[in-house]
Amino acid sequence: IEFVYSPIYDSLLTEMSKKEFSESQMKEIAFYKEEFEAVWKKDEKKIISEIEKLSRLKFKGNKTCFIVGHMKYAAISRPLTVKMHQHLERCNTILIHELVHILLEDNKDKLQNLIKNLYPGTEMEFKIHIPVLLITRKVVEKLYGYDTFESVLKDEMKRDVLNAVWPVVNELYPKFSSGIEKFLKKAK
């Protein structure tokens, strides 16, 4: 992952969040980018390897991640953007979640119909989060432990959509070991 700080992008999202952009924010986020990048790079190979191993899918190419000070969400996957978070470990788990979204998109030819057919009558955002959260939970527990996962769950239960998907994912979780395509075929 290449981390990028774009003052123009940060300013745009800050203003869309009805906040005021300043030169001090520019310096703060540029510094934060360096700090977060250093923390991420220590575990990056292990994280990417674990995501690919558990999903049995491969990322297509390198990724660019923008760091910003303000936006509505903690992160988005397209373009990959992460909002500054006071806890760097939590920012790692947020980035893992977004990377799983990207991985599924990179492999949509294999997964699109499987995901579309999950839980008929539910929104696509609900459906897509089932494999995302299954893989994310496995990776977070494996690399950071169950207590960190519990903290992630507590935080994400405050968010629309995720608070509806997590109970389903936690029910499916004991049946998922690795290979999301194979798992989704059985879940149909």
Q: Output the DSSP codes for 26-83.
A: HHHHHHHHHHHHHHHHHHHHHHHHHHHHHHT----S--EEEEES--SSSEEETTEEEE
Q: Which residues contact 57 (CB under 8 A, 6 or more apart)?
A: 103, 104, 106, 107, 110, 180, 181
Beta bridge partner(s), residue 4: 66
Whether the upstream peptide bond of residue 167 has omega within 30° of 0, thus cis, is: no
Secondary structure letter of residue 101 according to DSSP: H
d(CA 100, CA 26): 29
Using alpha carbons, select from 84, 98, 100, 90 the residue that is nearest to residue 34.
Answer: 84
Burial class (CB in 10 A: 0-12, 13-18, 19+), 17: middle
pLDDT of the residue at 97: 97
What is the rounded CA–CA span in Å between residue 48 and residue 65?
Answer: 14
State the pLDDT at residue 102.
98
Residue 188 has a pLDDT of 61
Model pLDDT, residue 127: 96
Which SS3 state, helix, strand or coil, does residue 3 take? strand
Question: Low-confidence residues of the chain, pLDDT below 50?
Answer: none
Specify the 3-state DSSP secondary structure of 94: helix
Query: What is the structure's pLDDT at 160?
Result: 86
